[in-house]
Amino acid sequence: MAADSCADRICIGTDEAGYGPNLGPLVIVATAWELDSDLYCRDLRQQLSEVVTDDARQRHRRLLVADSKSVYSSGDSLEALEVSVLSFLKTLCASPNSVAELGQLLAPDLFTQEYTAEPWNDPADSPVLPADCLAEVIAEWCDLLNQEMQNSGCRIRGIIAEIVFPERLNRLLDLKGSKGAVLSDATLQLVKTLHDRHAADHYEIICDRHGGRSRYDELIAEQFEDQFVFRIEETRQVSRYRTGNVEFCFRTRAEELLPVALASMTAKYLRELLMNQFNSWWLKQVPGLRPTRGYPVDAKRFREDVDEHRANIGIADHVFWRNR
């Protein structure tokens, strides 16, 4: 895709969902925002404060955009995630009607091939969206967001994802040696895609820290054609770099910033939708089966509960189970 007209500043925020589980995909999301020259990523919440909040107590008066862990708990309705994610997507003229359409929209390169390779994912029977809220509500929030972004000097430009299902994740783990390396590579690939898609005088990249990693300059250089990467600081809380007109910040509590919070919520929303589909299919195979969100202790219980049936129908371990 050709780059668009040059913006003053593009801010890109990234986050993931599903790093720890043994079941289901790892989902990494990046969001891109255009800002006027006198604005920075940290200003976005204030600029959109008439419509957007990170305070759950105000969620019925404003659109809640915060760390997905504070927005959603396992077993809750997806409404709080769904309203915000689908409202922002609608401002980009994207209104997916099913889980399969959402995945294809956010990750067009590999999603359909990998999604359909898993027996529990049938595009013809993909759950309808929105799942837990009304389309009219999303349309109303979309109108408010468009108006506020028009008045604020900032607007969202794109949301993209990397959805790594277990079979490919296991191959990447064998190749790269660690889950952290897989996450970092995928994250910076998304950043590079949005960087190349949206031309700007300046870029500000904000990423949630990747586990215990504190050094990222070599990873940045790999994605940005081996350009020299100037190291600004590396501490336990933040690692900052610059290459050309691009500044990178890997930090703790990055979800405090709006682009990262929306990435966090989008990743969680998509992963939860896919896990709901996974659980529904397995419940039909093994009546009375208790669902799982895929995290290690409960994933082992779930694996024991389905292993006999899985062996009978020939689902290979590397398709079903993440090695790390």
* 196 within some domain: yes
User: What's the helix, strand, coil split of the chain in %, to 5?
Assistant: 45, 20, 35
Q: Is 50 exceeded by the pLDDT of residue 201?
A: yes
* 288 within some domain: no
Q: What is the pLDDT of residues 94-148, one digit of tens each?
A: 999 999 999 999 999 889 999 999 999 998 899 999 999 999 999 999 999 999 9
Structure tokens at 165: 């299902």
**Domain containing residue 228:** 7-277
* 167 within some domain: yes
Q: What is the pLDDT of residues 10-57, one digit of tens each?
A: 999 999 999 999 999 999 999 999 999 899 999 999 999 999 999 988
* 273 within some domain: yes
CA 214 from chain center: how many Å? Answer: 21
* 302 within some domain: no
How far apart, in Å, do the first and last CA atoms of the chain sit? 35
**Number of structural domains found in the chain:** 1
Place of tokens 């989008």: 266
* 123 within some domain: yes
Question: What's this model's pTM, rounded to 2 decimal places?
Answer: 0.96
Give the C-alpha separation, 139 to 63, whole Å.
12
* 96 within some domain: yes
* pLDDT-wise least confident of 1-10, 105-114, 178-187, 297-306: 1-10
The three-class DSSP label of residue 187 is helix
Place of tokens 């028009």: 150
Q: Is 80 exceeded by the pLDDT of residue 212?
A: no
Strand partners, 230: 242
CA gyration radius for the chain? 20
Q: What is the pLDDT of residue 57?
A: 85
* 180 within some domain: yes
CATH code for the domain in which residue 168 is found: 3.30.420.10
